[in-house]
Amino acid sequence: MEEPKISTNSITEKGSSYKRWIASEGIPIIEGFFIKDIREVPLELWKRTGGLATRICLEGTGETNDAYICEIPPGKALEPQKHMFEELIYIVSGRGATTVWNDGEPKHTFEWQEGSIFSPPLNSWHQHFNGNGAEPARYLAVTTAPCMINLIHNIDFIFNCDYVFRDRFDSQTDYFNNPGTWYAGRVWQTNFVADVRNLKLLDWKERGGGGSQVRLEISENTLCGHVSEFPVGTYKKAHFHGPGAHVIILSGQGYSLLWPKGQPIKRYDWGPGSLVVPPGGWFHQHFNSGAEPVRYLALRWGSQKYHEMWGEQRGKSDVDVKLGGNQIEYEDEDPSVRQMFEEACVKAGVKNLMEKYYKKST
Ligand SMILES: [Fe+2]
């Protein structure tokens, strides 16, 4: 058999299909582990939408999902969009409305404000309007663009596919205003959250620190979310899961510790508007060292309904590592964790209330 002739060109594309797409869109990208304040991030014109934007692909996503921030100028609308990736939207500031429709079918319009959460169903048309003529409206969206673009690597298909996903959205008139359904395990299936800052949460003892939570299943997505709150003078237990959980601080002050097992710890101090994405398999732990309860929103993989392969390891994230789970109980944590928290409380002038949770745990 003859030896094959070897091409002198490299077969390797430069960077991932997703990263090359961002470069071709002409907008900036933010990488790293942490953003101090998503309300202050500078944005540049994004011709595709007519708004100002930046893409965000933090280390902790493992390029499975990503986020972007987009601002709609005062009194203006963005261009209509549709795409073959999911998009979970959180309104950072401002108020306005969104119209959603399938080609040739009735349009549905609903209003939103700071704190609203919703998701245009996969590949449906959607258009966002800023309802305020004096102020911009800013939103952050977590999307499945990286995995979809990297697998399909055809941008025309991603943005110009005509398939209508009727199993997700069949032009139901009450799609964005029905009350949804509650399920066991603090799960609310809904297509619209009016204001996540005021959502009533339910007790979640297993994660410790007097915390409460609600899980959100939205628009038949594989992406999902949850809202958590924990009191002054407390912190939650360390745990790990898969990549891509975008944690956005809604209120309160504190810090998170992130570390791969047996390796040095990274600390990020945060406040309202901060965004952190713990990498897959890394332990992470959230601490309230401020004078008010901490509430945060996580937009992430790990839907209770639609399982994928890299999200939360179901049923393990709040189970003791000694029992085969992914959580470190208080009695097993490194003494430096407690010491650091005590010092943070003293510095902030708040009382450390962890003693009763340490006792409960043992
Ligand atoms: Fe987590």
pLDDT digits (tens, 9 = 90+) for 257-305: 999 999 999 999 999 999 999 999 999 999 999 999 999 999 999 999 9
CA 78 centroid distance within chain = 22
Q: How far is the CA of 330 from the centre of ligand 1 (A)?
A: 16
Lowest mean pLDDT among 3-17, 50-64, 70-84, 124-138: 3-17
Q: What are phi and psi of 330, to 5 degrees?
A: -55, -40
What is the token pair recorded at 205? Answer: 């003892």
What is the token pair recorded at 218? Answer: 């939205």
Q: How far is the CA of 229 from the centre of ligand 1 (A)?
A: 13
- Burial category of 351 from C-beta neighbours within 10 Å (exposed 0-12, middle 13-18, buried 19 and up): exposed
Q: How far is the CA of 288 from the centre of ligand 1 (A)?
A: 15
Q: How far is the CA of 300 from the centre of ligand 1 (A)?
A: 10
Per-residue pLDDT band for 362 (boundaries 50, 70, 90) equals very low
Q: How far is the CA of 263 from the centre of ligand 1 (A)?
A: 18
CB 188 within 8 A of CB 201: no
**pLDDT attached to residue 318:** 85
CA distance 85 to 87: 7
pLDDT tens digits along 151-197: 999 999 999 999 999 999 999 999 999 999 999 999 999 999 999 99
Please tell me what DSSP assigns to residue 31.
Answer: -
Lowest mean pLDDT among 70-79, 161-170, 207-216, 297-306: 207-216
pLDDT at 74 over 90: yes
Secondary structure of 309-336 in the HEC alphabet? CCCCCCCCCCCEHHHCCCEECHHHCCHH
Q: What percent of the chain is modeled with pLDDT above 90? A: 90
Lowest mean pLDDT among 8-12, 70-74, 182-186, 311-315: 311-315
Q: How far is the CA of 241 from the centre of ligand 1 (A)?
A: 6
pLDDT tens digits along 219-233: 999 999 999 999 999
Q: Residue 244 to residues 82, 94, 223, 273, 361: CA-CA distances in angstroms?
A: 23, 26, 10, 18, 29
Q: How far is the CA of 284 from the centre of ligand 1 (A)?
A: 6
Q: How far is the CA of 325 from the centre of ligand 1 (A)?
A: 13
**pLDDT attached to residue 308:** 83
Q: How far is the CA of 21 from the centre of ligand 1 (A)?
A: 29
Per-residue pLDDT band for 360 (boundaries 50, 70, 90) equals low
Q: How far is the CA of 45 from the centre of ligand 1 (A)?
A: 33
Averaged pLDDT, 53-59: 98
Q: How far is the CA of 245 from the centre of ligand 1 (A)?
A: 7
CA distance 309 to 88: 19
Q: How far is the CA of 161 from the centre of ligand 1 (A)?
A: 34
More confident residue, 116 or 318: 116
Per-residue pLDDT band for 312 (boundaries 50, 70, 90) equals low
Q: How far is the CA of 243 from the centre of ligand 1 (A)?
A: 9
